[in-house]
Structure formats: C-alpha cells, structure tokens
Chains A and B, each alone.
Chain A
C-alpha cells in the first residue's frame, strides 16, 4: 500500500514538467503530508495489532484452561456412573431374525427320500423341495431375566407356514464353581454339531448320520446341568441332561419321570496360538413307544410299522481349527468329524405286512462324517464333506419277515458334498453346494443348491 503510493508518487514526479517549480514544491509538500499521515495510521494499526495479538494469546490461554477443565469434568463424568436410560424400551430383550432361502435342483424327488438300511427319522430330513423354497425363518429373543437367570426363545417359521418353538429355555448366569444349568426346550449338547443352529452350519443340510440317528438335531424338553473343571487353560466340561423324549429317536410316553437322558464330556484347548481343538464323547439313552414309520411289504403294498423299545446312541466328536496367529480374517481352516453308534432293542409291530404281527427287533448301526472348510481369502470359503453310514446288523425276531421291511435291507449309504460360500459381512452369506447323495440303495441323487442366509438385529456371539 505504502510502496505503491510512493511508486505512483515517483511516477507522477517523473511525468511532471520541470518548469512547474511551484507545483513541484506543492506536490512535495502534499507527499510529505500524505507520508506523515500514512505513517501515523500505520503506527496506529501496528499498536492495534499488538493489542489484538495479546488479547488472542490471553483468549488461547483461557480456552486451554477451559479445555483442561472440560476434559477434567468429562473425565469425572465418565468415572461417575453413566446416566441411567430413562426409556422403558431400554429393557427390551435382544431380538434377531434369520432370513434364508434356497433354490434346489435334484435328480430324484425329495418326496421319495430315504436313507437305506435305517428306520426313517421323520420327514424333515429330506432334501429341500425342488425349485425355490424359503428356508426356516428364525426369530430369536433373549435377555437377562434378573441377576441370576437369562432367557432364550427361538421361534422357527417353516416355509409351509407352520410355526414351531425351536428353543425356549432359561439358563443360570454364573452359578459359581463352574456350574451352570438350564431348563426348557433346548438342543442337546451331545456331539459337536447338535446344538449349533442350522443357519450356522457350514453346509446347507445336516450330515447323514445326524439325519438318520437324530432326525437332524436332537432337541428335548428338560433340564441340563454342566460343570467345568477348575483347570487352567484346558477345558474339561461334564454335563448331563434329562428330558421328556419329544424328538427322534425317542418318543414321549404317558408316564411320570423322564424318558430320555444324556451325558457328555468335552475336552478342548489351544495347541498353540494358531491351533485349537475340542473333542467329546456323549451318550444318549432314550426309550421309544410306538415310533411309527411307513414302508411297503413284500408285495409292494403300503404298511405302517411301529418300534417300541430302547435306543442308545454313542457320539464321538472332534473339531480342530487353524488360523495364522489365531487371526481368521484372511485364512482359516476347520476340520471336524463325528462318529455315532446306535443300538436299538425292542419290538417292531407291522400293520399291513404279509406276515402281520409283532416280533423282536435288534439293531447295531453306525455312521460318521468328516468335513473340512477352508477360507482361502477374506469372505470366501470352500468346504468338502464325506458321509458314511453302515446299516450294521439288524435282527428281526420270529413273527417278522425281512421281505416285509425293504427299507431295512442291509446297505451302506454315503454322500460326498462340496460347497463354496461368500460372506460379504458377518451378517450375510451366499452358498453354492453340490452333493452326490447315495442315501437310497437304488439310485444316486445329484443335488445342487443355492442358498442365502442373513441375520438382522442383535449381534450374535460365535461359539467355537
């Protein structure tokens, strides 16, 4: 500003003719005046600037002090209890919903599905219907009841618009001494896969041995008690269950007391930072009364059979998981396998058989599966599963003719399954699965499925 002024002054002077000496003197005077006035103004401005700067510094200091005070205050506030939520809805339980669906293609009709050599365990074990079908929609509600108990409720809405209570149980919260108990309807803790909900399975369907021996999953109405041994880092868990026997292989009976009982032991730990494992042994002892199933007799006419007696199942299970440094974000591997052996001892009654009547039935049968799932990059996994079953020995007593029980003819069903799944987030998964299923003695079923599974609402926790 100042400089431009002087420069313009000089230019002005240069441009002024020399003969106007008076003018020049006047101009000089003017410039002198201007200079003086500007210098005064500048001085004024400089003083004001200095004052402002001082004020700013002071303000800064004050702000800093205020900041410190605010920080201290907020710290005090944080240390003091958080304000209690005033809304009534703050006590609403956690709600989550599983939405899933499949598109299936199978070379044989699911309506003719049967696992050869074994007494059928119900209709739910058949592969999904051909074409598009809705999976089970699961509504889960859970919350702490009071300081001592927690409640869980899972409603399963089947695609045919029927609603079933999958789980409804009350469990203790920290009973102490490693003890916990639950009562109500729950998935038994026998084996590994049994108490894992279908939406968390690594394949679209259950292993054959689960379908055949437990009707997919064994759930009962009853009580469970578990105890954890006071070990350092090795898990030792022992448990027992008593129940009413409401699901296959048991049936309910009109009697006081219990119909089914189970005991289980699980041991698990970390081999190192990258590897962890769990192994278990379980026993399920149940009774069945008039457990019916349909078959055809020696001439091909429909029959109805009923089994009454004892059913005892042993389950051995193990799972091993690997992830580099225990970080499963990019790569991880899971290998799991289970073996089951079942003895059934009782009477079989046939209605509609050629030699209609009742006779002794005694079977000793087994089955197993081995599966592995590998995550080869974030979000993507591949899995392989092999199922093997052996109808073992089935002895029919006097009064029963083997030809009247074609389903029980000796056979060793097997199945090989491969899947690829993609999980864009923790809450959604898309899967492609192919299975070559030799459950039926007559023909091989090629099953192809596409599946989506999503979960919305409360964040679920991940079991091992």
Chain B
C-alpha cells in the first residue's frame, strides 16, 4: 500500500517535470510576482513565504525542502534576509542547480545599491544586516533594476526561451515605466510628509517618495517594541510630530494601535509585498495600494 503510494507520488512528480516549465522557487512574494511577470507561461512559480509572514523568521519547513529539491531557479532577496532558513534548504535539497554561485541562485540585492550599510557590526544593535537594508522592493525603481537582471538570468537558465523572456521583459518595462510616472505624480503630495515606521522596512520607499521618517517603533531592528520604547517614541513625537505610523501587513498591530491612539495620528497598514493586502495582488497593485493608503492617511491627518 505504502509502496504503491510512493510510486504514485513519483509518477505524479515526474509527470510535473514532463511539462518542462521552468520551476522557480521565490523566497519572497515580490520576486515570485516578478518572475511570473517575466516568465509568463514558461515558468511555474512557488513562493516560500507569504506577505503575512516575517521573512526574517521562517523555518526550513519540509515542504520548502521538497520545493527546493525540484527548483531550477531560486529567486531571493539576499543580503542575509534569508540567513535563518535558506542555508538549510540549500544544503538539504541535494539540488546542484540552485547552490550559491550557480546561475540558478538569484539574489535581487546584488543588483541594487543598498542603503543603511551599518558602520559597525554588533549584535548589541539588534538584527542588523551587514550588507545593508534588504527591503529593496518598496521602491519600484529597484524592481526595474532587478527585473533587468532577472530577465537575463531567466534567459541564461532556460536558453531555449531566451527570446520569449526578452520580449516579456521589454513589455513589462514599458508598462512599469508608465506606472512609475503615474505613481510619482499621484504621490507628489507625500513629499516631506513625516512618518513613524514599525520596523526599519521602508528606507527605499521613503527615499523614493521623499517621506521623512522620524523613528521606528522597534527600539532596535528586530526587537519587539515594549511599552517603555513606545513611550519614548510618543515623547519624541511631541517635539517632532509625525503624520502617520506605517507598519507592514505581517507586523503585529498592537504597537502601532497603542501609539496611534495616544499620538492621535493614523496607523497605516502597508502591503509591504505582493499579497499583503487584497488590492496588492500583483506588483502594480502593490504600489497602487501602497500610495493610495499613504494618500488616504495623509488626507485624514490634515
């Protein structure tokens, strides 16, 4: 019985690979969405994490090891964001194609200039990333840079469909550039708006839209806010008032709600990545929704 089941599963698995679609395992949903945009029907994308999960704290679950085993291409953020779980996936997968240094191991942060590279590395400073802040997907101009590199990687890994990927990349970039121009026009009123963020997750968004971040709710990166640290933030807001508090969909809402009530400013949930809110169902929706939420909060605060 058990043997039969095993054979059935093996048959099922081999029938999957017979379709010959390029198997892509994306560490985060934004890269999964980008791979889908660029790969079209030539790729089969699986996401290792969802927007409701903290990408810093994932375990190497059995299903992820199984997916890593069958992946032709791994698309991840890099810059140590996945350091807590990806090394185990790579080691246990027994998959040569996705090991570091192989074309099948794609790290988005390698193609973008990272902000906030720490001056010193000390665990006393919390969960710092040596290479810089890895949350690059909150600036659409970074997505464009990664798209360029990813389309080249797709063409290198799946040479037979290189022309197809090139065409899709050109099409995506045309739509993306138009969208960026639209977002920048829409977001013009946000320039100079003062905000508080829960985690140091938005420097790229702030840099893009000209938002001014006063402080974070987390006393140190990756350290959950406490009542004491929140009170300090509240104190700071009396001297430098902010217009809104922003947090990501996966963040616990208690800290931002606490501060929102006391500082009397709105708390905004941003999707952070694809799937974080119902409207952020693809990369375009991600920025449409992020900007509309920021604008709504800005209006409410006025």
Contact = CB atoms under 8 A, between A and B. Distances in A.
Interface of A: 74-75, 77-79, 82, 147, 150, 171-180, 226-237, 266-270, 273, 276-278, 321, 325-330, 378-379, 425-427, 456, 459-464
Contacts, number: 171
Interface in B70-112: 70, 80, 83-88, 90-99, 101-102, 110-112
Contacts of B13: 229-232
A78 B94 contact: no
15 contacts: A75-B145, A177-B94, A178-B94, A178-B95, A180-B94, A230-B70, A232-B16, A232-B66, A325-B53, A329-B57, A329-B250, A425-B223, A462-B85, A462-B88, A464-B59
B32 to A, nearest CB: 14
B222 to A, nearest CB: 8
A464 to B, nearest CB: 5
A329 B84 CA distance: 14
A460 B149 CA distance: 30
Contacts of B84: 426, 459-462
B9 interface: yes
Given A327-B54, A327-B57, A459-B84, 5 more contacts: A79-B148, A178-B93, A232-B67, A426-B222, A461-B84
- Please provide the 8 A-B residue pairs with the shortest distance between their CB atoms, ordered closest to farther: A268-B62, A235-B62, A174-B96, A325-B52, A176-B96, A178-B94, A174-B99, A235-B66
A378 B218 CA distance: 13
A266 B62 contact: yes
A9 to B, nearest CB: 43
Given A173-B91, A464-B61, A456 B111 contact: no
Contact of A269 (B62, B97, B111): B62
B93 A228 contact: yes
A459 B54 CA distance: 17
Nearest to A175: B94
Contacts of A178: 69, 93-95
Nearest to A460: B84
B252 A330 contact: yes
B92 A231 contact: no
B299 to A, nearest CB: 29
A299 to B, nearest CB: 53
Contact of B63 (A180, A268, A427): A268
B14 interface: yes
Contact of B60 (A229, A233, A277, A463): A463
A231 B69 CA distance: 8
A325 B12 CA distance: 28
Interface of B: 6, 9-10, 12-14, 16-17, 46, 49-50, 52-54, 57-63, 65-67, 69-70, 80, 83-88, 90-99, 101-102, 110-113, 123, 126-127, 145, 148-149, 222-224, 250, 252
A328 B49 CA distance: 12
Contact of A231 (B9, B222, B250): B9
A463 B88 contact: yes
Given A75-B145, A269-B63, A327-B54, A226 B88 contact: no
Contacts of B59: 321, 328, 462-464
Contacts of A269: 62-63, 66
Contact of B92 (A177, A180, A321): A180
A171 B91 contact: yes
Contacts of B61: 268, 270, 276, 464
Given A232-B67, A330-B252, A278 B62 contact: yes
Nearest to B82: A461
A30 B68 CA distance: 92
Contacts of B101: 147
Contacts of B223: 425
A246 to B, nearest CB: 24
Contacts of B91: 150, 171, 173, 180
B77 to A, nearest CB: 14
A464 B54 contact: no
A462 B58 CA distance: 8
A270 B67 CA distance: 12
Contacts of B46: 233
Contacts of B145: 75, 78-79
B252 to A, nearest CB: 5
User: Which of B65, B80, B113, B149 has most chain A Cβ within 10 Å?
Assistant: B65
A228 B66 contact: yes
A371 to B, nearest CB: 17
Contacts of A237: 65
Contact of A179 (B94, B110, B127): B94
User: Which of A150, A229, A231, A459 has most chain B Cβ within 10 Å?
Assistant: A231
A427 B149 CA distance: 35
Nearest to A235: B62
Contacts of A174: 90, 93-99, 102
A230 B54 contact: no
A427 B95 CA distance: 30
Contacts of A75: 112-113, 145
Contacts of B112: 75, 78
Contact of A79 (B67, B88, B149): B149
A462 B88 CA distance: 8
A257 B16 CA distance: 41
A267 B84 CA distance: 22
Nearest to B68: A228
Contacts of A150: 91
A329 B252 contact: yes
A325 B276 CA distance: 12
A50 to B, nearest CB: 26
B99 A234 contact: no
A398 B87 CA distance: 56
B92 A276 contact: no
A98 B127 CA distance: 18
Contacts of A172: 94
A82 B110 contact: yes
Contacts of A234: 9, 62-63, 66
A229 B14 CA distance: 10
A229 B17 CA distance: 13
A440 to B, nearest CB: 37
B2 to A, nearest CB: 9
A221 to B, nearest CB: 21
Contacts of A230: 10, 13-14, 17, 69-70
A329 B251 CA distance: 8
